[in-house]
Amino acid sequence: MKRTAIRLADGRELIYFDERDDAVRDQPDRRELPPPPPASQLRYDPLTDEWVAVAVHRQTRTFLPPADQCPLDPSVGDRLTEIPAPDYDVVVFENRFPSLSGRVADEPGDVTPFTPLRPGVGRCEVVCFTSDHNASFASLSPGRVRTVLDALADRTVALGELPGVEQVFCFENRGVEIGVTLHHPHGQIYAYPFVTPRSRAFLGAARRYAERTLGGNLYADVLAAERAAGERVVATNEHWTAYVPAAARWPFEVHVAPHRPVPDIPALDDAERDAFAPLYLDLLRRFDALFDLPMPYIAAWHQAPVRIDREFGHLHLQLFSIRRAKDKLKYLAGSESGMGVFINDIAPERAAELLRAA
């Protein structure tokens, strides 16, 4: 894989990840762009011990443009986009409308003595999986999936070295039902200046389990139990298992986990990276086959934090959809949104059975 970094017209970084060593990436960004926005504002919620980002500039971000105006397509002729090249394999660039960034304008004061403010320091990046606007992740070749995985590993390391970054989150949103604002197949990477609430819950449970069992690995033991039971396993190979969690929150939710406990994507070896693609592509195609239409989903990589509790992390990909039937979606209503208590309409065992049959 060849890696080439350039600067866009407004100073943001863009990196080409090419599958050919002879790829030439010397096309300049010919657009006239305003300076990137300053960092967002983080507000602390003392009632939940969580940080909330306020990023008012994102209100003007691009929203479902026509196909011929997609900013993630290659630049061709006078049609200039975020990617200056006329074609590409995988591209990663700084988001033009970031929730977090390193461009701090000033240090904010506090809202109240209970609600301190801080700059939204970090970084948000866009990952384009292919130059083909009409493709999807499920239509990628295994080789391209490997390139994407290597790019995510590269960015996880690089972003984890930025000052103040505590956690790196790689994910893909697919489908307007999920809330995507661009149809082009792409994902995102968030570099947070704190450990996220979801990860803190995972790590806390893992720490307590390790203390209780004198060093046991919670996720590894759960994975072993699921593999032994087999009822919720959807697919498996030498290095990975895809299974529906016994307490799945979403109608169709699958964890894709490596058999070897590793903290993050960079820790995967070559054999594990190669083995991921065929299993994951098969799983995505099963999702689409469930109702014979493109399945909206979120694919979220759970990685260990950058600096703390890495021994309690176990890398896994959480793939889930809000679609519960061909004509029905799962909405986060009163119990889920108000209290954080999920109520699933489909038994995890039934979901696994349907995915195996798809």
Position 109 scores a pLDDT of 78
Quick one: pLDDT band at residue 95, thresholds 50, 70, 90?
very high
Q: Locate 302 and state its tokens.
A: 């759970």
Position 30 scores a pLDDT of 97
Position 217 scores a pLDDT of 96
Closest of 83, 68, 96 to residue 18, by C-alpha: 83
Give 111 or 128, the one with higher predicted confidence: 128
Position 124 scores a pLDDT of 97
Measured between alpha carbons, how far is 292 from 286 in angstroms, rounded to an integer? Answer: 9
Domains of the chain: residue spans and CATH: 2-194 (3.30.428.10), 198-357 (3.30.428.10)
Residue 41 has pLDDT above 80, yes or no: yes
Position 110 scores a pLDDT of 83
CA dihedral 161, 40, 181, 36 (to 10 degrees): -80
Averaged over 91-106, what is the pLDDT? 92
Stretch (H or E) spanning 145:
helix 142-160
Position 166 scores a pLDDT of 98
pLDDT-wise least confident of 64-73, 77-86, 231-240: 64-73
- Classify 234 as helix, strand or coil: strand
pLDDT single digits (tens) 265-307 = 999 999 999 999 999 999 999 999 999 999 999 999 999 999 9
Position 268 scores a pLDDT of 98
What proportion of the chain, given as a percentage, has pLDDT over 70?
100
Position 63 scores a pLDDT of 81
Averaged over 312-321, what is the pLDDT? 97
DSSP 39: P
Quick one: pLDDT band at residue 24, thresholds 50, 70, 90?
very high
pLDDT single digits (tens) 146-194 = 999 999 999 999 999 999 999 999 999 999 999 999 999 999 999 999 9
Rounded to the nearest angstrom, the gap between the alpha carbon of residue 260 and the centroid of all alpha carbons in its chain is: 21
Position 145 scores a pLDDT of 98
Q: Are 61 and 90 in contact (CB under 8 A)?
A: no
- pTM for the whole thing? 0.96
Rounded to the nearest angstrom, the gap between the alpha carbon of residue 126 and the centroid of all alpha carbons in its chain is: 10
Quick one: pLDDT band at residue 62, thresholds 50, 70, 90?
confident
Quick one: pLDDT band at residue 126, thresholds 50, 70, 90?
very high
Position 198 scores a pLDDT of 96
Residue 301 corresponds to which amino acid? W
When the pLDDT of each residue in the chain is averaged and rounded to a whole number, the result is 96
Residue 106 has pLDDT above 80, yes or no: no
Q: Are 257 and 116 in contact (CB under 8 A)?
A: no
Cβ partners under 8 Å of residue 76, min gap 6: 86
Measured between alpha carbons, how far is 321 from 329 in angstroms, rounded to an integer? Answer: 9
pLDDT single digits (tens) 187-229 = 999 999 999 999 999 999 999 999 999 999 999 999 999 999 9
Q: Locate 357 and state its tokens.
A: 């049959």
Measured between alpha carbons, how far is 57 from 54 in angstroms, rounded to an integer? Answer: 9
Residue 119 burial by CB count (10 A; 0-12/13-18/19+): exposed, middle or buried? Answer: buried
Q: Are 93 and 12 in contact (CB under 8 A)?
A: yes
Cβ partners under 8 Å of residue 314, min gap 6: 206, 217, 218, 219, 220, 223, 257, 261, 262, 263, 304
Q: How far apart are the first and last CA of the chain?
A: 34
Residue 107 has pLDDT above 80, yes or no: no
Q: Which positions are annotated as active-site residues?
A: 186
Q: Are 131 and 140 in contact (CB under 8 A)?
A: no
Measured between alpha carbons, how far is 84 from 288 in angstroms, rounded to an integer? Answer: 32
Averaged over 96-118, what is the pLDDT? 88
Q: Are 341 and 335 in contact (CB under 8 A)?
A: yes
pLDDT single digits (tens) 329-355 = 999 999 999 999 999 999 999 999 999
Q: Are 291 and 323 in contact (CB under 8 A)?
A: yes
